[in-house]
Amino acid sequence: MDLLHLKAPGNWINDPNGFVYYRGEYHLFYQYFPYAPCWGTMHWGHAVSRDLVHWEHLGVALFPTRYEDQNGCFSGSAVEQDDRLHLFYTGVHYDTIDPQNTHRVVNNSFQAAQLTISSPDGRRFDNFGGKQVAVPRLEDPAWGDRTHTRDPKVWRGADAWYMVLGSKTPDNRGKLLFYRSRDLALWEPAGSAAAPQGLGWMWECPDYFELDGGQVLLCSPMGIAAPDGETGDHTICMQVRFDEAACRMELPETYQFFDYGLDLYAPQSTLDAQGRRVVIAWLRMPEPVEGRWCGMFCLPRVAELKNGRVRFRVHPNAERMYARRIASPGQAEAAGYKLCLELAEGQWAQIGGYRLALQNGCVTADRSRVFPAGAGRVKCAAPPVGSRARLEIYVEPNLIEVFINGGEYTLSSAVYGLTQELLLPPGQQAELYTLA
């Protein structure tokens, strides 16, 4: 059982997949390599929860069985129809096999197809007999890439089912491909949208939804400049215009980052039991914890559209858990604590070695004291918010999530070896809460 943050149950996890509320339970699947704490042939691991807070691990749901998914069951999504749970995912088949390591792709050369499998109860998946090809390998590069087309996100539209896939153009820009289906079985290409230059060479994990009267796209471009200008893979969020009947999407030039730390990636959203848009993302971790497990998810976040910007706040079910006031981090439960704090320009606080400051109107973070040396970047900053910032900081042993001004921006970082020391700006009392 995992509490609040879902973690690899051993070995390796990456993206959240198939996030759905089905028959009174949240199902959360994930990219899973069950044999070692590193990326390898992808399976889908599976967990369920009644409240988005207490997660029960159910083991492996999907594993390679067919020609199309011989080398992995990549990311995808879930929908309910006629009381059955339908999963959509990308099957990959490597063009050549590395004789030394069959779990690694050679020269990034493989083919991708979109597959589907359904379950009568959300728990039983017939991996040997139940998989169908929804969208076969692409043959026309002008439409989409044979290799880099993946991560089907399916949703129910006004009159049909829709699927969006992340892909690339022949000149290495991100691209979205849309498909439509009446029955979840037969899928027809219905439209596409190419990203402007400068937003990465391929788009992973697209997720489109309506939000508070607007239309929002979350996606994870590979090779995009982070807020500090360095190129990498980072999740962005934008308000789009989508004409469903024509499957035409207008992508704006402007976007925001999903999170202003450097580690959250490949989020997936669904509607919760109350109809809120809830999002969970993968925390990239540079090395396994205790040599045993690598990869976990952030707290569930509720997305809201306010004044033309998407904001994220902690889901109330998770927020509610931090109900017991404590005097110091040493009194916190193992699952961590929440710290409320206000910083004025020039002030800083240090949480177990993790330093937050307000500098030139921006909340900045420095994890150099609590991060393996040489394992990646240690500093990041959110956009300017003015001369004061109200922070809600959720601390657990390997993740610090900062919500700035009630979710105006978030900044989350992977950490290792936090101490129990708390250094606050002069005159500030610690306002700390742990699990009741």
Kindly list the catalytic residues: 15
Of 75 and 317, CB closest to ligand FRU: 75
Of 162 and 265, CB closest to ligand FRU: 265
State how far the Cα of 342 lies from the Cα of 319, in Å rounded to an integer. Answer: 19
Residues of this chain that bind ligand FRU (CB under 6 A):
14-15, 31, 42, 74-75, 90, 150-151, 204-205, 265-266
> Taking the complex as a whole, how short is the minimal distance between the CB of residue 204 and ligand FRU, in angstroms?
4
Contact 223, 203 (CB under 8 A): no
State how far the Cα of 257 lies from the Cα of 232, in Å rounded to an integer. Answer: 13
Q: What are phi and psi of 318, to 5 degrees?
A: -80, -45
The Cα-based distances of 228 to 2, 351, 379, 421 in angstroms read: 34, 23, 9, 29
Token pair listed for 373: 């040396």
Of 78 and 393, CB closest to ligand FRU: 78
How many whole angstroms from its chain centre is CA 404? 19
Neighbours of 24 (CB within 10 A): 7
> Taking the complex as a whole, how short is the minimal distance between the CB of residue 233 and ligand FRU, in angstroms?
7
Of 224 and 381, CB closest to ligand FRU: 224
State how far the Cα of 218 lies from the Cα of 151, in Å rounded to an integer. Answer: 12
State how far the Cα of 363 lies from the Cα of 6, in Å rounded to an integer. Answer: 27
> Taking the complex as a whole, how short is the minimal distance between the CB of residue 220 and ligand FRU, in angstroms?
6
Contact 247, 178 (CB under 8 A): yes
> Taking the complex as a whole, how short is the minimal distance between the CB of residue 378 and ligand FRU, in angstroms?
22
Q: Count CA atoms closer than 13 A to 405's CA, side-chain side.
A: 16
> Taking the complex as a whole, how short is the minimal distance between the CB of residue 76 and ligand FRU, in angstroms?
8
Strand partners, 210: 215
State how far the Cα of 431 lies from the Cα of 327, in Å rounded to an integer. Answer: 8
State how far the Cα of 209 lies from the Cα of 211, in Å rounded to an integer. Answer: 6
The Cα-based distances of 108 to 12, 112, 284, 336, 368 in angstroms read: 20, 12, 21, 39, 33
Quick one: DSSP state of residue 365? E
Closest by CA to 248, choosing from 279, 215, 205, is 215
The Cα-based distances of 261 to 73, 397, 412 in angstroms read: 28, 17, 5
> Taking the complex as a whole, how short is the minimal distance between the CB of residue 114 and ligand FRU, in angstroms?
11
Q: Count CA atoms closer than 13 A to 75's CA, side-chain side.
A: 28
State how far the Cα of 406 lies from the Cα of 389, in Å rounded to an integer. Answer: 10
Closest by CA to 14, choosing from 34, 30, 1, is 30
Closest by CA to 353, choosing from 395, 293, 316, is 395
What is the residue type of 305?
A: L
> Taking the complex as a whole, how short is the minimal distance between the CB of residue 372 and ligand FRU, in angstroms?
21
> Taking the complex as a whole, how short is the minimal distance between the CB of residue 155 and ligand FRU, in angstroms?
18
